[in-house]
Chains A and B, each alone.
Chain A
């Protein structure tokens, strides 16, 4: 019974959230589809861990309104992103562009991996060298022989 109640409550929550979302829909579903596709790639400036599509911040609503206008004017996705980048900087893009200031960001992980691979090789080489340089004395050789024979019996 308790579970049923919880489920009903959850459904109610979703229903009301859906209703709220629906009011944001513009008259044109095609525009809204594109708006969502574009704004999911963009960061909301106010709640920085949310996308522009998902944020309920006031500014995000205003920006969605601006973007809706731009879409209706027939701007391309690149032009729309440029509209925001020229105002708020690359920070709004979840995928930062590759340029001199972001080279470290893009290449850094690969650089670190290269360092790791080189370090691994050097370490393995050294270890191999250490193993092969081990030379048995005559006494040790005889003991090995004896142990092996014992094992065969």
Chain B
């Protein structure tokens, strides 16, 4: 009976708890239904060599990183040095998808600030982006040896994301 006055306090603490968790969540991060599903198939021309094509099947048997970017995307610039550093380690193939862009602009960016991609597929009208559920560039997909998407990263990859999430997952996927 004495503790009755603690009930509103308890409710208040619970409410604050919910708000605190809510503040920490990013509403832009929508969980993708594509994780653990086969990566959607496509065939696109390459950015730098339009006469060559790229299809995800080309990398069957390998774990690879599929990074969606564009020359107009500001957050991609933030991610760029991290990808450059990662590409230098030659851990896995890094494939770019140039999303809703102009070839000339995209190639300009790669020339100016360096090219972390083994190759970039050119998705000028964004159709392939829709199949991959892209809604905010940059987005990255880690695809396993069987061509299944194992992880989707929304927003720029930070050095910490790479060390703590992506590289451990790559090591695990490489074992199987």
Residues of B23-37 at the interface with A, using a CB-CB cut-off of 8 Å, are 27-28, 30-34
Contact at B34–A87, with CB atoms within 8 Å?
yes
Contact at B136–A46, with CB atoms within 8 Å?
yes
| A77 on interface, CB distance cutoff 8 Å | no
Given contacts A58-B100, A62-B126, contact A87 B31 (CB under 8 A): no
Which A residue's beta carbon lies closest to that of B131? Answer: A87
B140 CB, nearest partner CB in chain A, Å: 16
Which B residue's beta carbon lies closest to that of A46? Answer: B135
Contact at A87–B130, with CB atoms within 8 Å?
yes
Q: Which residues of A contact B33 (CB under 8 A)?
A: 85-90
Contact at B30–A66, with CB atoms within 8 Å?
no
A87, B128: Cα distance in complex, Å: 11
A63, B32: Cα distance in complex, Å: 17
Which B residue's beta carbon lies closest to that of A43? Answer: B30
Which B residue's beta carbon lies closest to that of A88? Answer: B133
Given contacts A45-B135, A88-B135, A89-B32, contact A63 B100 (CB under 8 A): no
| A123 on interface, CB distance cutoff 8 Å | no
| B54 on interface, CB distance cutoff 8 Å | no
Given contacts A88-B30, A91-B30, contact A63 B136 (CB under 8 A): no
| Partner-A contacts on B (CB < 8 A) | 27-28, 30-34, 100, 125-127, 130-133, 135-136
5 A-B pairs whose Cβ atoms sit less than 8 Å apart in the complex = A45-B136, A48-B28, A63-B130, A85-B33, A89-B133
Q: Top 10 closest A-B pairs, CB basis? A: A45-B135, A87-B133, A89-B33, A91-B30, A88-B133, A62-B126, A59-B135, A89-B31, A89-B30, A66-B130
| Partner-B contacts on A (CB < 8 A) | 45-46, 48, 58-59, 62-63, 66, 85-91
Q: A45-B135, A59-B135 are in contact. List 16 more A-B contacts (CB 8 A).
A: A48-B28, A58-B100, A59-B126, A62-B125, A62-B126, A66-B130, A85-B33, A86-B33, A87-B33, A87-B34, A87-B132, A88-B30, A88-B32, A88-B135, A89-B33, A90-B33
